Every structure is written in C-alpha cells, then in structure tokens.
Amino acid sequence: MWRAHNLQQKGGNYVSCIRKEKKTGPLSLKRIIIFLAIMMAAGFCMPMVGLTCEPVGEFEDLALFVVYSDSDEDAQIIARGGSEDGIRKVVIFGPRGKVRHRAYFKDKGRIGQADFQFDTPEPSLEDLMEAYPPGVYRIWGKTVNGDILAAGYPLRSP
C-alpha cells in the first residue's frame, strides 16, 4: 500500500514523500498463525517452541542415571530407552528446557531403532553435575509410525 509521509513545507508548497509501506502487524501475524496451523495439521510437532502433540505412548525401559567410578573418581550420565515400534527421533531436554541431546535415525523412516543409549564423557563428578544439573529431564521421541513418545525422568544428585 502506498502512503504519503513526511509532509514538509518548502517555499510555500507542501512536499510529500510517497513510499510503499512494509507489510507488518496483523497481516504478518496472520501468516504465521496460518503457517503454524498447517504444520500442526500436517502432523509436524514443534516441542522446541512449546507446540507439542499429545503423546501416544511411552518409552520402554526408560532410564536416566549417574554412574560414578570411585577408583577413577569420574562420573558419567547414561540415558537409555526403547520402543516396540522403531524409533526415528529422540530429543532430551534439560530441566530448564534446553535441548541436551538430539538424535535422528536415518533409514528413510522404515525400521528405526529398537533401543537407544547415550553416554556422556567421564569428567569429575562436580563438572558433570555442573553441566547436567539435577531436575526433571524430558525425553521426547517419534516412531517410524509417527506416534509420539514422551516422558519426564528425574536426575538426582548422587
């Protein structure tokens, strides 16, 4: 839309600057809302921005724990789980919502993975607990069938 801006008086005549306004405001917001509605209708869940699909199932044998080696004085965190249906994607969120780990199993969505296990390196216990603070870690997954798996698992300080 073209509009006149900056009406100025120059030598008795009014001079205006005509320019095209950028599309902002409700129209842009409307486009964003339509885009998000289409994405949700198509089955794309976006947990990173707070838009999530309802979980259909839970992980099997889900565990999140700290392993401490007294002889080496180091520790590591192990996260593991599984599903009867093949797992295509796993995302682990920390207590403050930060993505701590993300894994995609790329076999074109045909088979997926039955189980997963993620191990951290083995720093000192203090360094590990600083990097991974105690709290509830949310684990989100998607199967090759498109089902959403979700769970919260507490990580306690040893």
CB atoms within 10 A of CB 105: 15
0.75 exceeded by pTM: no
Query: Where residue 113 sits, what CATH number does that domain have?
Result: 2.60.40
Judge if 34 and 96 occupy the same domain: no
- Residue 10 has which token pair? 């120059």
- Residue 142 has which token pair? 């998607």
Judge if 41 and 119 occupy the same domain: no
Judge if 48 and 84 occupy the same domain: no
- Is residue 2 a part of any domain in this protein? no
- Is residue 7 a part of any domain in this protein? no
User: Which domain-ending residue is among 37, 53, 69?
Assistant: 53
Q: Is 106 helix (H, G, I), strand (E, B) or coil?
A: coil
- Is residue 6 a part of any domain in this protein? no
Judge if 132 and 77 occupy the same domain: yes
User: Structurally, how many domains does the chain consist of?
Assistant: 2
Judge if 68 and 144 occupy the same domain: yes
Q: Are 75 and 128 in contact (CB under 8 A)?
A: yes
Tell me, letter by letter, the H, E, C secondary structure of 39-89: HHHCCCCEHHHCECCCCCECCEEEEEEEEEECCCCEEEEEEEEEEEEEEEE
Judge if 35 and 78 occupy the same domain: no
Please write the tens of the pLDDT for every residue from 80-132. Answer: 999 988 999 999 999 988 899 999 988 776 888 999 999 999 999 999 999 99
- Choice between 37 and 43, residue whose per-residue pLDDT is larger: 37
In angstroms, the Cα distances linking 115 to 44, 88, 149 are 23, 11, 13
Judge if 45 and 75 occupy the same domain: no
Instruction: Write out the residue range of the structural domain in which residue 44 sits.
Output: 24-53
Contacts of 12 (CB under 8 A, 6+ apart): none
Q: Are 93 and 138 in contact (CB under 8 A)?
A: yes
Judge if 46 and 31 occupy the same domain: yes
pLDDT of residue 27: 60
